Amino acid sequence: MDQRQGDGEVIVEFHRVGNSIKVSAIDAKTYVEVSIIAPLDSTKKQMTDTVLQKLDYVLAKRKRDE
């Protein structure tokens, strides 16, 4: 989580869906949620890093659009 641009707590959830894993990240301050679908052979770190990058992207985009 050292790479995160955000300043708040993030909830990360992992749910197996068939042959994939759905990873969701929710920013506790803004309640913005993003998800990714990852292959089963991905590491937890890979999945977490990817979903946090997506969350950072969405939060930055919303901030720019304000």
Our count of domains for the chain comes to 1
Q: Considering the domain boundaries, does residue 22 fall inside one?
A: yes
pLDDT: is 6 or 54 the higher one?
A: 54
Quickly state the pLDDT bin for 7 (edges 50, 70, 90). low
> 3-class SS at 19?
coil
Give the lowest-confidence range in 6-10, 38-42, 59-63. 6-10
Residue-range definition of the domain harbouring residue 25 = 10-65
Q: Considering the domain boundaries, does residue 14 fall inside one?
A: yes
37-53: burial string, b at 16+ Cβ within 10 Å, e else = ebeeeeeeeebbeebbb
Q: Considering the domain boundaries, does residue 24 fall inside one?
A: yes
- For the chain, give the percent of residues with pLDDT over 90: 86
Q: Considering the domain boundaries, does residue 1 fall inside one?
A: no
Q: Considering the domain boundaries, does residue 54 fall inside one?
A: yes
Q: Considering the domain boundaries, does residue 3 fall inside one?
A: no
